[in-house]
Chain A
Amino acid sequence: MDLTSINPVLLIASLMVAATPILLAALGELVVEKAGVLNLGVEGMMIIGAVSGFIIAVETNSAALGFLFAALGGMALSLIFALLTQVLLSNQVATGLALTLFGLGFSALLGQNYVGIRAPSVPDWNIPLMSDVPVIGPILFQHDPIVYGSLLLVVAVWAFLKYTRAGLILRAVGESHDSAHALGYKVRRIRVAAIAFGGACAGLGGAYLSLVRVPQWTEGMTAGAGWIALAIVVFASWKAGRVLIGAYLFGGVTVLQLNLQAAGANVPVEILSMSPYLITILVLVLISADRSRAALNAPAALGRVFHASG
């Protein structure tokens, strides 16, 4: 085994790329869950975003339009979820699972004629001056715009929930929809908006897979990334900063195990392949081990159906 073939600078730079789809999807789901809605359809919304972004990017030869339509595609699917759970008051868990199955099947149908095509490339934005700094430059300042955007989104979601009135209202709705309703807030409208935001983020995350990370369309290419995003939200105890840690940890172990495989490490491939899932969940479980604190941060009305009475 030749460990010298693993370049730490490249490793860190590529872990950020590997983590971005999950980071985007998890941030969206974090906002949805803070509003008290459990949308298990993240995987389905991601793959719809992946396929719709890929198709539009190929047809228009513009990656930017691809990302835009990926966000719209994910949002469209999430609005079906919103209609079913918020207006027709269906069960959120069952609806979310159905959404994932629907998304996987529908994306396969849409993408039939696009297998094996290359996507238009997404240029890196090298930040002037900063990108030339040794070590730090290649790690932090030679990425594509979506990576920068996802990091800004972490800060934005954190600040939105902590410092803005709209964020306070969103948290209040997720904490007790009955109290929020009694105070005159539009619980349903706020939740639909949060669900749509979550859908758009998941769609962007999916498109990042098909347009940057792979970059090709294959059926079922999300391969459980949506489920990992859901798990990260819970184990990160609904904190944007910890979601970042969780996503980068997952991305890091994924890239590392690929490098180890390439370097011919003397460990069965199956164990290396499952290591990102195991290690991410293990570390986040340890972080959130203090159960009473985690429970405080959990939205108390998560997954409960809101029915306005009187």
Chain B
Amino acid sequence: MGATPLLEIEGLTKTYPGVVANEDVSLTIQPSEVHALLGENGAGKSTLVKIIYGLVRPDRGTMRLNGAPFAPASPSAARQSGIAMVFQHFSLFEALNVAENVSIGMETPPPTRELAHRIREVSETYGLPLDPHRLVGDLSAGERQRVEIIRCLLQNPRLLIMDEPTSVLTPQEVEILFSTLRQLSADGTAILYISHKLEEIRTLCDEATILRRGRVVANCNPREQTAREMAELMVGSALQSPGRSNVTPGAPLLELKGLSAKSSSPFGSELKSVSLEARRGEVLGIGGVAGNGQDELLAVLSGEQRVEPDAIQFGGAPIGHLGPNARRNLGVLAAPEERLGHAAAPEMSLTENAMLTGSVRMGLSKSGFLNWGQARAFAEDVIQAFDVRTPGAGNAARSLSGGNLQKFVIGREIKQSPQVLVVNQPTWGVDASAAAAIRQALLDLAEGGAAVIVISQDLDELLEISDRFAALNEGRLSAFRETSELTMDTIGLMMGGAHDMEVAHT
């Protein structure tokens, strides 16, 4: 290509106290190119795009946009230069409607009525139906992403940055997103696509830049590489896939019979007649788009939300009315999705956090008095067994990186040798090698005769470790099917697929 590149980055360096986030990073994006930015958590992808979007100033290095020097002082300056960004954690406001959300992300928004009209127009052009007057709090994750994308498109960007856009979408929604992105690219917009889902990048992107520990380690054409090769470039070593010997499932351990429960949050989903049966030695996978009842299901299984005694049975005995500690005593343990604030108390040390869920089963307290020595030994045991990188058990949970804290939180439950373990998003935001370790630990636990229920939005993860799979859709759980018989299409249909889009078209 002889034309001027759209964006040229040279020698960009940004250090934070103690960490080099980006070191001498260079990359070039051509107009209409779909460019992938790959790397593990903490590789420096977020810092790099924040620099391009004007949220962070680099220490050294230059950027050129269309050949002219480019150093945005604020996101607003970046937007005026034609750069738009769709955030991983949406920058949306639940209590505002779609039009207000779009308006607030624009430099010079037109009057509300005209804006609503233009939102309809753009959403039809790109096949992303949206009603401008609906509250964002009532939208699904896929629809929320459309709000973000349309907000960007209304400003006619030349470069669209997308940070992990598919992590919350069903396979059908991913297809729709990809066709939108291809259409945009054909219209001349360049796309910088951040992801760690390698198969997606292979189908969508023209170029890939791989970051590791803040440095560019490779540039490649993703269509000519295998996913495994790219993964190994990201991690910097050979990857091990989790595996286990075949186990035949034993007797049913935990049963849910037609359980219904209201949600405690105004934007949550109500559980409607959920039935499942978890047997010894098997891993149940529960998929579905976020916000379809996952949090509620975990709350009901862990005992945070009590239900009718008979709705949940453990080894034939009713336990629906029991609270979390009574269930722990029986061997029904759970690890929720939110690491900081739900699974662990952020300001408390790892020892204290180990005490919080471990005191019942590990005998860490006696007639109301706590045995800190034992709690510390238990925490250190978890740290060692699960390779949690921390200076010691006395450190606050908040000081650990997401992946390390996740290993601790999951390890803490596994070490209590549960009969039934329920986990929600066990590897969310965890890098590839730590994720593999957590999955292996869950498989080992099942092999040892426990029943494991994994709730996750990562379909690849569920296909890799679960024996049977079902999906949550608007609070309803589909029937379980053997994972080995599933295809992506059937999974998409089980998850409710894109049916909401057809409705929106009419």
Q: Report A's interface with B, CB cutoff 8 A.
A: 165, 168-169, 171-172, 175-176, 178-180, 182-184, 291-292, 295-297, 299-300, 310
Contact = CB atoms under 8 A, between A and B. Distances in A.
A292 B92 CA distance: 20
A175 B96 contact: yes
B95 A182 contact: no
A292 B135 CA distance: 14
B96 A171 contact: yes
Contact of B55 (A165, A295, A310): A310
A184 B76 contact: yes
B103 interface: yes
B94 A175 contact: yes
Contacts of A300: 94-95
Given A168-B100, A178-B89, A179-B92, 5 more contacts: A182-B87, A184-B79, A300-B95, A310-B46, A310-B50
- Interface centre among A165, A176, A183, A310, by most chain B C-beta atoms within 10 angstroms, is A183
B372 interface: no
Contacts of A182: 55, 75, 87, 91
Contact of B74 (A175, A176, A180, A184): A184
A168 B95 contact: no
Contacts of A184: 54-55, 74-76, 79
Please list the 7 inter-chain residue pairs (A to B) with the smallest Cβ-Cβ separation, ordered nearest first. A184-B75, A179-B91, A175-B93, A292-B266, A182-B91, A184-B76, A295-B266
**Which of A169, A179, A297 has the largest number of chain B CB atoms within 10 A?**
A179
A296 B91 contact: no
Contacts of B47: 310
A296 B135 CA distance: 10
Contacts of A165: 103, 109
Interface in B44-69: 46-47, 50, 54-56
- Mostly, the B contact residues are loop
Nearest to B103: A168
Interface in B91-112: 91-96, 100, 103-105, 109
Contact of B266 (A169, A180, A183, A296): A296
B76 to A, nearest CB: 5
Contacts of A168: 96, 100, 103-104
Nearest to A169: B104
Contacts of B74: 184
Nearest to B85: A182
B137 interface: yes
A168 B95 CA distance: 11
A149 to B, nearest CB: 29
B56 A172 contact: no
Given A172-B96, A296-B266, A183 B135 contact: no
B137 A172 contact: no
Contact of B95 (A169, A296, A310): A296
Contacts of A296: 95, 135, 137, 266
A179 B54 CA distance: 15
A172 B93 contact: yes
Nearest to B79: A184
A165 to B, nearest CB: 7
A297 B135 CA distance: 12
A169 B96 CA distance: 11
A179 B90 contact: yes
A288 to B, nearest CB: 13
B473 to A, nearest CB: 22
Contacts of A292: 266
21 contacts: A165-B109, A168-B96, A169-B104, A171-B95, A172-B93, A172-B96, A175-B94, A176-B92, A179-B92, A179-B93, A180-B93, A182-B87, A182-B91, A183-B91, A183-B104, A184-B79, A291-B266, A299-B95, A300-B94, A310-B47, A310-B55
Contacts of A172: 93, 96, 104
Contacts of A175: 93-96
B374 to A, nearest CB: 34
A203 B91 CA distance: 36
A34 to B, nearest CB: 10
Contact of A297 (B46, B76, B89, B95): B95
A309 to B, nearest CB: 10
B157 to A, nearest CB: 15
Contacts of B109: 165
A168 B93 CA distance: 11
B56 to A, nearest CB: 6
B75 A183 contact: yes
A178 B91 CA distance: 7
B131 to A, nearest CB: 17
A299 B91 CA distance: 16
A176 B93 contact: yes
A300 B136 CA distance: 13
A178 B89 CA distance: 10
B232 to A, nearest CB: 29
A65 B96 CA distance: 40
A11 B103 CA distance: 46
Nearest to A294: B266
A1 B96 CA distance: 53
Contacts of B103: 165, 168
A204 B50 CA distance: 44
Contact of A310 (B56, B75, B79): B56
Nearest to A296: B95
Contacts of B96: 168, 171-172, 175
A171 B75 CA distance: 20
A74 B348 CA distance: 39
Contacts of B94: 175-176, 300
